[in-house]
Amino acid sequence: MDFSFQVFGAVGPLSGTLSRMHVRSILGRDFEEFKKTAGSLNTTDAFVRHDLHVFYDEQDIVKGLEFFDRSGVSWQGHKLVGEKLFPVLGLFRGNGIQPVIDDDGFDVSEFGMSFYVPDIEDGEDALIKSLYMNLRTER
């Protein structure tokens, strides 16, 4: 499935306005519902085929997505997860966006994106392991 990012609040066929049932009708019935953490206010859906977790608010409306390596999430035709750190940072910087780097990865707040790069200290060899994308304005 195409998970290309164009504008804040949506990626591919998913947006921050969809209900859990609507997401399941789009992505298919092959999912696992689970609590991401003990303190989670609602359950998360894991769509293994799409390598994607979908997070919902208390009203079962999408609030965010977590993409993993096989998801194929992209921006401007460039894959964002499972790629080396420096080319993805360069993609954003080349478009006038300055990612904020920390010990666990980097954020692109303009797009509601948080990239997890556990080996960020490895520099150019570091791989992006996942991307959490906030789809709601209440960041």
Tens digit of pLDDT for each residue in 59-102? 999 999 999 999 989 999 999 999 999 999 999 999 999 999 99
pLDDT tens profile 37-71: 888 889 999 999 999 999 999 999 999 999 999 99
- Distances from the Cα of 130 to the Cαs of 17, 59, 111, in angstroms? 23, 26, 15
The CATH code of the domain that includes 113 is 2.60.460
**Mean pLDDT rounded to a whole number for the chain:** 95
The confidence score (pLDDT) of residue 128 equals: 98
Count of CA atoms in the C-beta half-sphere (13 A) of 52:
24
Evaluate if pTM is beyond 0.85.
yes
pLDDT tens profile 112-129: 999 999 999 998 889 999
Query: 13 is in which domain, residue-wise?
Result: 1-139
Nearest to 111 by CA among 23, 9, 12: 9
Task: State how many domains the chain has.
Answer: 1
Q: How confident is the model at residue 138 (pLDDT cuts 50, 70, 90)?
A: low
- 53 phi and psi, to 5 degrees? -110, 140
Separation of alpha carbons 7 and 110, rounded Å? 10
Q: How confident is the model at residue 139 (pLDDT cuts 50, 70, 90)?
A: very low
Is the confidence at residue 132, as pLDDT, over 50?
yes
Give the contacts of 21 (CB within 8 A, at least 6 positions apart): 60
Separation of alpha carbons 56 and 60, rounded Å? 5
Written as one string, the DSSP assignment of 40-100 is -SS-EEEEGGGTEEEEE-TTSBEEEEEEEGGG--EETTEE-SSSBHHHHHHHHHHTT--PE
